[in-house]
Chains A and B, each alone.
Chain A
């Protein structure tokens, strides 16, 4: 046992796939940051709102006013450095920190895709992604005809992470709403009536079921199709079709392209060497730019991961957390989709159509009471997210309580009249209207002031 384990950690492989992955990642992230800025989202999501929803315990992470722009610039610049392989280790650490900070500034914008980028960039800190075709190793690339080799587990770790994302997303689809009711696709797809060619098809009930089932099967099977050489090309075609489809049907930004490019990592190094030699020809005219940046390196020493004794336990711990975290919902009673306790960071993608309406009531010691107009404090996006998610509701209730206490009201109590509708069910009360939310402390304990859905969604 120990012997095989040891031999696995000692195996090495071509550095080309990881180099292509690094370049793809860097380019996509650079573009994503620019796209984010061009849409004006830095301003509308992080600067304009007067209040920001924080993750539990992380309320010290706040937007930095107009310095937020600098944070984004720094993030984009480090992504670019990752792409060209310039001071890679520093760049990937800065990217991980700034990107993660950005995502933690306001949980209104939480997306599984952003979480994926955060943990992937964390993993990449420990990988020798700059070993080949980078400015850091510019001279060695030029003189050595052979592609350098790197530990095999470094590339496998990316494959494993991608596989976890897919398989867990597939497992999450094994529920009665998704498979037996074709929800929420039955709500979403008909509204795509204006898409050319597909618009009419999207109205068909059998299409909703087909999409639900193939989506589930796709997620569960795709890592295996990509791992096995014989099915790999079919798997990759499926990746392209699936992600292009999701791009056409849903507003999911850059993610489909990121996943398509990422899936290339499953291919043999021959493909990646072809890609790199093509890039090399294209980049030839810019050689003078690179060489000024590059530092001379000793070209003889084969790559060794320093601090291997430290890095491998970190990687193992990282993956253990990844494998366990999505199951934490099992420790909470109630319907997961309704309470959303343990919902995030679990690859539960596109599983719910949930809308809510929350009307907060402030009562003071004298018994005076009034309702809140949410748009006095929140943007429409924040209000939409807040209205159907209990942890947002609690946080906002505390914000309101603090706000009116600071205005001089005594003995403030905060109640909410909140209705939500889940996957086509008729709206019903989400929160106990008689609970003074201002007295409730946020914690990882079960929120017993969430009223039951009184309907069971079977499955995982």
Chain B
């Protein structure tokens, strides 16, 4: 009877129920708090857990979205991290239709600690570089150099080096049926002429050595095509025109930037000319790497972007600590063929994973 009383005693049930209720409410509140805390952690990470740096550098790219610039930015960021500096990729202010020149002005106005830019060879750019210099902001040029500007250092490859490298690869593609070789340039690139001359000399010298003229009676025609980039899509159209027209269709098409390389490759695939037009590409974009892997593009030349980013930062750091830096830092030019394309694929995957 007593046992029964204990079991059914209203007091026990009552306090038990109250306790259960309290537990449920507390659990809900704890869950809610935890949830909110987790959200705050995730969403506000960039505002709350920021790291403060000593210096602020900017990279002003030609095109923010291009893989080349993304790669440079990535390696520069990694290098800057080591030197307690922050790198900003300045070039995607959606609101203003700004050119790299405008971004130069902005960077100077924002009083950053260093600028990395590819100069376009214009007087305006030189003035902007000079203005930065006056404001005590060191400017490092990459890919292209403007020796007449007051840049502190150039990180890249020289045009002789580039021309010779292209020449060597062209020679490997030339065969008895090669009649025409076209080299694509974009207006505004400094040293286009120099590269072209160097390239032409390298090819012709090589062919002479091989006795091409004796065998074929005639040397292949090497011409350059400078695309006047009036608007964004001009290059693509010009390349297609060139390929469609039988008179102007080259046997070897040499590209000097990554956009041209992809446009040319797409055109060749579209017109079913794979095999009859050899493209010598530039830079390790996904499309070009795929093409090399399939054998549709025999070779691509690519600068070592990792070196480019790292050396730029090192030059800036050197300038800030020593007051001077070497005016030229050479980066390697790599040749991607079907044999070594796997290595680039690997590094790209790694970098892609990091970013």
A joins B in a complex: no
Using a CB–CB cutoff of 8 Å, the interface residues on chain A facing chain B are none
